[in-house]
Amino acid sequence: MKIFSCDLEQKSVRSSLKLLQRWGVGEIFPDPCPIKARIEMGKNFARIRTIRPEVRELNNDPLPIEIRFEERKLSNCLCGKGTVYDGPLYAELLRSQVSTFDISWLKDKPVFITRDYIASFDEREKRYHLRYAIFSFPVIISLPGIIEAPARPREYYIARGLGTPIPDDLWEKALIDLKDRRLPRVLAGILLQAWFFYETGYPFCSDPHCSLFNAHRQEELLNAQKDKPYVLCDTHSKILGEKR
């Protein structure tokens, strides 16, 4: 796999890649961010900002100040300081930067790890939803999306609404943030999903204890991204053994 990530996140990413190698995913190549200092892409990024979550409408005619903001982001590694971007279109912008359209694309298995927020439009619910990953070409993993996209427990929202402290046991059981010691393990599991996407065309599993489980709540995410009772279910463990 070819992993593109921000310099600011190298510690977490390196820890995650070590876990992948321990699990048997070989040939992992960390690469620098392919869009760093590419200020000519500023207008394109400004255009794929979402306007409102409830409409499939983008910022097609960005203001000069919005373009300059995106240019500063690209120049100064300020991803995560902007708005929410349309994930599939974000992938299109990256695609021209990381590979050519040939067989090496699948061999490289490119994954882009960003601090930007990404979303995709749910046709059934007719609204944008934040995502922790977009399984496209390349795969995009959003670090803040890992935190914000899966729903948090009802108790969390009640405590926030009342302005009271979040109980420690709730953090341990069902909450995670970007400084959490568990983040590298969670990121490794999502990278494993990316590996399966490239190898099999589908990144998910219905087993809630398998690292490929498609979690919609933080508690589900943390439950799936543990080494016990297993990293992968029997079916996906066998596939990994056959492919590596």
Q: Is the pLDDT of residue 240 over 90?
A: yes
Q: Is the pLDDT of residue 103 over 90?
A: no
Domain total for the chain? 1
The region that residue 201 occupies, defined by phi over 0 for left and psi between -120 and 50 for alpha, beta otherwise, is left
pLDDT at 100: 52
pLDDT at 48: 94
- pLDDT range class, residue 104, cuts 50, 70, 90: low
**CA-based nearest residue to 31, from 2, 65, 60:** 2
Q: How large is the average pLDDT for residues 51-58? A: 87
Query: CA 161, CA 180: separation in Å to the nearest integer?
Result: 23
Q: What Å distances lie between residue 38 and 35, 46, 159, 179, CA to CA?
A: 5, 13, 42, 29
Helices (H), 48-142: 64-76, 87-98, 104-108
Specify the 3-state DSSP secondary structure of 142.
strand
Q: Is the pLDDT of residue 8 over 80?
A: no
pLDDT at 160: 81
Q: Is the pLDDT of residue 62 over 70?
A: yes
Q: What is the mean pLDDT of the chain?
A: 89
Q: Is the pLDDT of residue 153 over 90?
A: no
pLDDT at 235: 96
Domain at 13, CATH number: 3.40.390.10
Q: Which domain holds residue 93?
A: 2-243
- Which range, 31-45, 79-93, 200-214, is most confident? 200-214
